[in-house]
Chains A and B, each alone.
Chain A
Amino acid sequence: MNKTLALLPIGNSGVVEGVNAPKALKRRLMDMGFTRGIPVKVVKVAPLGDPLEVEIRGYNLCLRKEEAKIITLRQE
């Protein structure tokens, strides 16, 4: 099983490996900056456990765990 963004603990960073999603969603996530080799950090989790706030390419983005699951990270 590949490591995904959803499994990253709060405050930790990882490096994006790819986005495994249907065309439109993949395109959207990549447009927001999730391309291969880019560092991404989980800043916080919303009070009710979902969604996540991540930092990527110098800005903050919010996405659900469901979406974070499809973003795979490089194995350390």
Chain B
Amino acid sequence: MKTIALVGNPNCGKTTLFNQLTGTTAYVGNWPGVTVEKKEGLFNGMRILDLPGIYSLSPYSPEEKVTRRYILDEQPDLIIDVIDSTNLERSLYLTTQLVELGRPMILALNMTDLLEKTGITIDVKKLSLMTGCPVVQLSASKGLGMEAFSKEVARSQQEPNLPSCPLFSNVVEKYISTIIEDDYLHKLPFGRPMRWAAIKLIEDDEFFLSSMPEVPQSTMKVVEQARAALTITYNDDPEAVIIDQRYKVAEKIRCACQTKIEQQDHFSFDRIATSRFGAIPLFVLVMALVFYLSIQVVGGMTTSLISFFFQFIQEHLASYLHSLGVIPLLNGLLVKGIISGVGSVLTFVPQLFVLFLLLSILEDCGYMARIAFIMDRIMRTIGLSGKSIIPMVIGTGCSVPAIMCSRTIEHQKQRELTVVVTPFIPCGAKMPTFALFIGFFFPDKWYIAPLIYFLGILAVIFTGLLSQKLDKHKEKNTFILELPRYQVPTIKNVWLQTKERIMGFIHKAGTIILLASALIYVLQSFSFTFSPVEPQFSILAQIGRVIAPIFKPLGFGTWQATVALLTGIAAKESIVSTLTVTMGTASIGTLFDGASAIAFMAFVLLSFPCVAAQSAMFKELDGNKIKFLKAICYQFVLAYAVALVLHVIFLEVL
């Protein structure tokens, strides 16, 4: 099967194009670095790949390495160079590198719908002539130009065209040809074109050198001579000379193909969003509004309604099944186990829907990168970067995508720290637990819920400061981030993302939660000898009791709480469903008091996340078992310590 690879700058719309072509709904957002891993799909019988965005073929952060490794090692049959039409010059800089790989290539001029607004016109014919590639104009988000694109792809299958390499200045070209004459360059493995290899040798590109057969002394001598001569001629190091040459080519093409009418600066949202006094209050306000709208307004309206609905079903179904003569065990399994367990989780669908909706609007409009911009100074004091705030905001929805998008953080230590602290931000699945406890124990204390979030943030700060203290050799960190244009979020994008996430939640309720609820019900109905017993003598109770003493000091050393925490490892939503199933008709007040409720919430908040998030953590910690175990242990110990302290304090206070 033929393979097509989508390559381009971050945030130029590769994933949107990918979704258009394959009809899938991969995750799209408006900040650089949404895609951190390659994604595969099918398009007209060909394999199509969406690769993480890159600015250059010399990678800097891990997700960029994915792209480079892929293009070099897998040799796609066709490269689609996706270009942000409103940012032609920098896009073409990457193009000058891609053409050297000697693969058939098409330029996809994306976002052409924005050209008019920005006063830009592009001469497509000229662009095609100057780059030697077919050019297609399209707008992936609006679905414009897709037909022409498909045609061009089909045509290039029949007669693949090889793009022409851009020519640099005479001096540079002279040295490139001297190196190409060397014998070594003629014996390179497949997929390493000579001109490209020669340039890499001039640049002294370590990634390249490590992937090549050893360069003989004689060749090295020629290269060294060229490097020395270029250094003298241009008064800069050879790598910089090549970059400069590439940008000169990009500039030349841009000047020839693009005309721009300067637009007047009109009032923009950005003035407030990043203003000196308004920016941080606005950020706090936006986040507060997101939670207020979802949890308070929508949650408040729907929660009691839905739980009433499920109670209604439970009662009627139970008596109906009873009248049919269904055995009590089956009746209980269905009504008290499955329906009550799944129902307790489904209650949260409306408010999570609104939360996911608002988060995807934030992601789509371009505000996310500004949050990173305004928060960088604060994040730096705790050893993180502005980019770390993006995972944390997304983490209020779900930790799994949040942990994954920490990959765009270039510095390893910052990245690892972000991975460890992101789960401290309460995700949507933990919300039911907090709602259950706050609703029962502190219905009139409005400050408890914000306190939980505050506790999560405190844990992040504490961990950051601690790791800075422990870090002996501090390395210098950098923060370089492109600020994308603001855009009105497209309904389609926002809807797709929200749907995807909420369906994920509902899917979990229908699978993991359903199974867990059924299993919990069975385990608490039988003893080890498989005779039906009261719950307190059941298998579940006995297992719970073995572990429960660990949680005694925290105030919730009951087998029910222990089992709930255990099932919470599979999915945090099942903490509530397990408690609901194991308590039966009893009230939660029989298991907890105010102080232990707070301790329990703190423990759920801070202890290690669900399996899905754990595996994301493991992956983003480079699959390093020791680092992963350390992170998990740290989260557990911190959760235990904080819960213990809070329990002691609140025993006094309450």
- Of the listed stretches B224-232, B270-278, B514-522, chain A binds B270-278
What is the bound-complex CA distance between A23 and B483, given in angstroms?
A: 24
Please state if A25 and B478 are interface contacts (CB–CB under 8 Å). Answer: yes
Q: Which residue of B lies closest to A56 (CB)?
A: B90
Please state if A27 and B373 are interface contacts (CB–CB under 8 Å). Answer: no
Please state if A27 and B239 are interface contacts (CB–CB under 8 Å). Answer: yes
Please state if B376 and A51 are interface contacts (CB–CB under 8 Å). Answer: yes
Check: A3 CB closer than 8 A to any chain B CB: no
- Of the listed stretches B240-248, B391-399, B593-601, chain A binds B240-248
Interface string of A34-50 (1 = CB under 8 A from B): 01101000001011111
What is the bound-complex CA distance between A62 and B481, given in angstroms?
A: 5
Distance between B566 CB and nearest chain A CB, rounded to angstroms: 43
What is the bound-complex CA distance between A21 and B476, given in angstroms?
A: 12
Please state if B236 and A61 are interface contacts (CB–CB under 8 Å). Answer: no
Please state if A33 and B247 are interface contacts (CB–CB under 8 Å). Answer: yes
Q: Which residue of A lies closest to B55 (CB)?
A: A31
* B residues less than 8 Å from A28 (CB atoms): 60, 478, 480
Interface string of B279-313 (1 = CB under 8 A from A): 11000000000000000000000000000000000
Please state if A24 and B239 are interface contacts (CB–CB under 8 Å). Answer: no
Please state if A36 and B481 are interface contacts (CB–CB under 8 Å). Answer: no
What is the bound-complex CA distance between A44 and B265, given in angstroms?
A: 15
Check: B218 CB closer than 8 A to any chain A CB: no
Number of interface residues of B (CB under 8 A): 37
Interface size class of A (residues with CB under 8 A): 20 to 34
Please state if A49 and B90 are interface contacts (CB–CB under 8 Å). Answer: no
Please state if B373 and A51 are interface contacts (CB–CB under 8 Å). Answer: yes
Please state if B277 and A36 are interface contacts (CB–CB under 8 Å). Answer: no
Please state if A58 and B55 are interface contacts (CB–CB under 8 Å). Answer: no
* B residues less than 8 Å from A49 (CB atoms): 377
Check: B382 CB closer than 8 A to any chain A CB: no
User: Taking A33-B90, A60-B483 as contacts, is the C-beta distance between A23 and B239 under 8 angstroms?
Assistant: yes
Please state if B479 and A24 are interface contacts (CB–CB under 8 Å). Answer: no
Check: B386 CB closer than 8 A to any chain A CB: yes
Check: A7 CB closer than 8 A to any chain B CB: no
Please state if B274 and A67 are interface contacts (CB–CB under 8 Å). Answer: no
* B residues less than 8 Å from A58 (CB atoms): 86-90
Q: Which residue of B lies closest to A51 (CB)?
A: B376
Please state if A24 and B279 are interface contacts (CB–CB under 8 Å). Answer: no
Please state if B90 and A64 are interface contacts (CB–CB under 8 Å). Answer: no
What is the bound-complex CA distance between A28 and B239, given in angstroms?
A: 11
Distance between A75 CB and nearest chain B CB, rounded to angstroms: 16
Please state if B480 and A29 are interface contacts (CB–CB under 8 Å). Answer: yes
Check: B378 CB closer than 8 A to any chain A CB: yes
Please state if B93 and A46 are interface contacts (CB–CB under 8 Å). Answer: no
Q: Which of B194-245 contact A (CB under 8 A)?
A: 236, 239-240, 243-244
Check: B482 CB closer than 8 A to any chain A CB: yes
Distance between B226 CB and nearest chain A CB, rounded to angstroms: 18
Which residue from A24, A25, A59, A67 sits with its C-beta under 8 Å from B482?
Answer: A59
* A residues less than 8 Å from B58 (CB atoms): 27, 31
Please state if B56 and A46 are interface contacts (CB–CB under 8 Å). Answer: no
Please state if B244 and A36 are interface contacts (CB–CB under 8 Å). Answer: yes
* A residues less than 8 Å from B386 (CB atoms): 51, 62
* B residues less than 8 Å from A66 (CB atoms): 476, 478
What is the bound-complex CA distance between A67 and B244, given in angstroms?
A: 19
Please state if B239 and A53 are interface contacts (CB–CB under 8 Å). Answer: no
Please state if B377 and A50 are interface contacts (CB–CB under 8 Å). Answer: yes
Distance between B370 CB and nearest chain A CB, rounded to angstroms: 9
Please state if B244 and A53 are interface contacts (CB–CB under 8 Å). Answer: no
Check: B452 CB closer than 8 A to any chain A CB: no
Q: Which of B122-176 contact A (CB under 8 A)?
A: none
Please state if A47 and B279 are interface contacts (CB–CB under 8 Å). Answer: yes
Please state if A61 and B483 are interface contacts (CB–CB under 8 Å). Answer: yes
User: Taking A31-B55, A31-B243 as contacts, is the C-beta distance between A48 and B378 under 8 angstroms?
Assistant: yes
Q: Which residue of A lies closest to B118 (CB)?
A: A58
Q: Which of B372, B478, B481 has the most chain A CB atoms closer than 10 A to its own CB?
A: B478
Which residue from A33, A47, A59 sits with its C-beta under 8 Å from B276?
Answer: A47
Check: B374 CB closer than 8 A to any chain A CB: yes
Which residue from B239, B279, B479 sits with its C-beta under 8 Å from A51?
Answer: B479
* A residues less than 8 Å from B377 (CB atoms): 46-51
Distance between B250 CB and nearest chain A CB, rounded to angstroms: 9
Please state if B376 and A46 are interface contacts (CB–CB under 8 Å). Answer: yes
* B residues less than 8 Å from A67 (CB atoms): 478-480
Q: Which of B552-575 contact A (CB under 8 A)?
A: none
User: Taking A51-B377, A58-B87, A60-B483 as contacts, is the C-beta distance between A35 and B243 under 8 angstroms?
Assistant: yes
Distance between B80 CB and nearest chain A CB, rounded to angstroms: 21
Q: Which residue of B lies closest to A70 (CB)?
A: B478
Please state if A31 and B93 are interface contacts (CB–CB under 8 Å). Answer: yes
Q: Which residue of A lies closest to B280 (CB)?
A: A47
Please state if B482 and A44 are interface contacts (CB–CB under 8 Å). Answer: no
* A residues less than 8 Å from B90 (CB atoms): 32-33, 57-59
Q: Which residue of B lies closest to A21 (CB)?
A: B478
What is the bound-complex CA distance between A34 and B544, given in angstroms?
A: 62
Q: Which of A30, A31, A53 has the most chain B CB atoms closer than 10 A to its own CB?
A: A31
User: Taking A46-B376, A58-B89, A66-B478 as contacts, is the C-beta distance between A32 and B279 under 8 angstroms?
Assistant: no
* A residues less than 8 Å from B236 (CB atoms): 18, 36
* A residues less than 8 Å from B376 (CB atoms): 46, 50-51, 62, 64
Check: A74 CB closer than 8 A to any chain B CB: no
What is the bound-complex CA distance between A29 and B480, given in angstroms?
A: 8
Q: Which residue of B lies closest to A30 (CB)?
A: B243
Interface string of B368-412 (1 = CB under 8 A from A): 010011101110000000100000000000000000000000000
Distance between B32 CB and nearest chain A CB, rounded to angstroms: 10
What is the bound-complex CA distance between A35 and B251, given in angstroms?
A: 12
What is the bound-complex CA distance between A64 and B386, given in angstroms?
A: 10
Distance between A43 CB and nearest chain B CB, rounded to angstroms: 9
Q: Which residue of A lies closest to B373 (CB)?
A: A62
What is the bound-complex CA distance between A28 and B411, given in angstroms?
A: 13
* A residues less than 8 Å from B243 (CB atoms): 27, 30-31, 35
What is the bound-complex CA distance between A67 and B476, given in angstroms?
A: 10
Which residue from B89, B277, B481 sits with its C-beta under 8 Å from A47?
Answer: B277
Q: A33-B90, A59-B482 are in contact. List 15 more A-B contacts (CB 8 A).
A: A28-B478, A31-B60, A32-B90, A35-B243, A47-B280, A49-B377, A50-B377, A51-B377, A58-B89, A59-B90, A61-B480, A62-B483, A63-B478, A63-B480, A64-B478
10 contacts between A and B (CB under 8 A): A18-B240, A27-B56, A27-B239, A28-B478, A32-B90, A33-B247, A46-B376, A47-B275, A57-B90, A61-B480
Closest 10 CB pairs of A and B: A48-B377, A31-B56, A60-B483, A47-B279, A30-B243, A35-B244, A62-B481, A31-B55, A62-B373, A35-B247
